[in-house]
A and B are shown apart, each in its own frame.
Chain A
């Protein structure tokens, strides 16, 4: 089956990965999951995805930030859009984390991501790239 594009989900919560995967696959995206930063980066370098969905807090509290920095530093990966997901992004405690101005992040989403938003964002970034 032809896919709209490939998405890499980096999150240490396997249930979250699985649900996002099922949701996106139902809309004809191809999805791979990584459970930590280094694994995600390795998978990206092996095969470049069209979009990365990245959790802020992986095994370490700022591992997501580290991964986005790594993506920005790597000329091969720099073009890949990054959507950062967290349970804290929209809360009052957002200030405890770096803002989008300093991060290589194209969009912030807050957990739980409504299905419609997830699909809209995936389509927006991947179709925008295809055009």
Chain B
């Protein structure tokens, strides 16, 4: 029930509003007593009525001070409990003083008796739902008691001077009036409680939707941050690509300019033109690699396009092709493939590119007389490809950057000055795109080993 109360400071504000209303009630009562006492002196116990009104003003002052103390309480839970208790006390006191005022000014003849209804409404607003029924019961009991005692002569009935008829002489009317009023009290308790419950539900719905909004806005912020990171990454990539593209084109341009100027000797001219041609060929390689890398980066190939790929067949095909290059360089290229290797879900061209890049690197960076192995095995879950060489290897620093785009190890630059530096990035992104992982092990002067795993398609 407690959770359906208005929240902390809101409840305190409403109790403050009740206290302010009571000042108005005191003023109104005094305004009613004064003229009546002047026009109908001696008709009612005006001294007692005044005393009750002063009592109301007095407890109202006390409740006001108490509320100030509640406001200073730090814990919201304690504030809530104290404010709620204060409201209940005020309403009970109000009912009692109202009945007392009514009793000394005509009993049920006094229309002020209808103010009981007002207290039921206040209770529905300030107190936990359901309490207003108890307040209605208390108000009804007080009303019946007062009327019974007055009719029974235990309490003296003070006839309202404005009223010509004496209602207390009509027992049936009294019964109907009191019964009707008690019924009205409960009806009002029912109506106001229903409304308060509906309002409470709205409040909670609003709060939930507020929280949802905050959550959404947080999600949007995170999405935005992620997009910004992607954008930054893209900018960085563009800077690198621009540099990588401009460098060879600049060289080609300068070579052509020198050749066309005719200032250099025929021999020199031929030399720079050969250099330009070589750079143009490398530029084409770079563009091809960039295209591959972009495809992988943008993940334009979706998993829907995947097919079952026999990694072993592709290795055989690539190794066959590479064998010529390896033998031409005086290298031994060995391939070891386990029987019945399961297929993987991927695109054949991309997996072929993985083998091509790994094998061509191994051949490129291994000196004559060295060895290059490629092997393919599987376990229950994965297919494992390994390419190992006895080549130049790399430093731990180079190893930590080896999959970075455009990163090239220093010793690799010496062997092949114009490699694109994106081959291994392509390999890594491809393997990861198809749910696998890749790692590199290497030691300077002692060769390198690249191991990738891809999930089996039959698992």
Contacts and interface: CB of A to CB of B under 8 A. Distances in A.
Contacts of B251: 13, 15-16, 19, 112
A19 B254 contact: yes
A59 interface: yes
A58 to B, nearest CB: 10
Interface stretch (B79-87, B182-190, B256-264, B448-456): B256-264
Interface stretch (B267-275, B352-360, B361-369): B267-275
B413 A112 contact: no
A15 B413 contact: no
A87 B250 contact: yes
A8 to B, nearest CB: 18
Contacts of B264: 22-23, 26
Interface stretch (A64-72, A88-96, A121-129): A88-96
B410 A59 contact: yes
B417 interface: yes
Interface residues of B, number: 27
Interface stretch (B31-39, B240-248, B382-390): B240-248
B263 A26 contact: yes
A12 B254 contact: no
A44 interface: no
Contacts of B261: 115
B242 A87 contact: yes
Contacts of A20: 254
Given A22-B258, A115-B261, A88 B243 contact: yes
A59 B249 CA distance: 19
Nearest to A114: B257
Nearest to A36: B410
Given A22-B268, A87-B243, A88-B239, A112 B254 contact: yes
A96 B263 contact: no
A15 B275 contact: yes
A110 to B, nearest CB: 9
Given A22-B268, A87-B246, A88-B242, A59 B254 contact: no
Interface string B278-299: 1100000000000000000000
Interface string A1-39: 000000000001111101110110011000000000000
Contact of B417 (A14, A113, A115): A14
Contact of A115 (B246, B254, B276): B254
Contacts of A93: 239, 242
B142 to A, nearest CB: 84
Nearest to A93: B239
B254 to A, nearest CB: 5
A26 B247 CA distance: 23
A12 B417 contact: yes
A73 B261 CA distance: 39
A115 B258 contact: yes
A107 B207 CA distance: 64
Given A13-B251, A112-B251, A115-B258, A18 B272 contact: yes
A15 B160 CA distance: 119
A113 B250 CA distance: 8
B202 to A, nearest CB: 54
Contact of B249 (A14, A23, A112): A112
B143 interface: no
Nearest to B275: A15
A93 B271 CA distance: 33
B321 interface: no
B247 A111 contact: yes
Contact of A12 (B249, B258, B271, B413): B413
21 contacts: A12-B417, A13-B247, A14-B417, A15-B251, A15-B272, A16-B251, A18-B271, A18-B272, A18-B275, A19-B251, A19-B255, A20-B254, A22-B272, A26-B258, A26-B263, A59-B413, A88-B239, A88-B246, A91-B242, A112-B257, A113-B250
Pick the 7 closest A-B CB pairs, nearest first.
A112-B250, A111-B250, A87-B246, A26-B263, A112-B253, A15-B275, A15-B251
Interface of A: 12-16, 18-20, 22-23, 26-27, 57, 59, 87-88, 91, 93, 96, 111-115
Given A57-B243, A115-B258, 8 more contacts: A15-B279, A19-B255, A23-B263, A59-B413, A87-B246, A112-B249, A113-B254, A115-B257
